[in-house]
Amino acid sequence: MDISISQNLENILQEKVAEGLFKSMEEAVYFAIKFTFVNNTQERIDILNAEIEKGWQEMETGQGRTYKDIFSDLRKRYA
């Protein structure tokens, strides 16, 4: 499926991918749509819990980032 989005929205999503929040534009669009249309609170909790679990699994396999690295990046960005 092909979709079109505004240049402004595309820039925002590209920024989030560049920051490492998402691995690809496809993943960024997927999560934007998924969280926009999930209205049930329990569904949101389940989705967030699944993402937290995914993050833990990534950390256990050495794919994640340490809190020190994250805080360092935040200090650089907002200092």
Read off the pTM: 0.49
| Residues 37, 41, 42, 47, Cα dihedral to 10° | 50
Q: Where are the alpha helices (DSSP H) in 1-79?
A: 7-18, 25-37, 41-60, 67-78
CB 38 within 8 A of CB 44: yes
Res 37: pLDDT: 78
Q: Does the pLDDT value for residue 1 go beyond 80?
A: no
Q: Is 55 helix (H, G, I), strand (E, B) or coil?
A: helix
Res 11: pLDDT: 92
* pLDDT band at residue 2 under the 50/70/90 scheme: confident
pLDDT tens, position by position, 10-49: 999 999 999 888 889 998 888 888 877 776 778 888 888 9
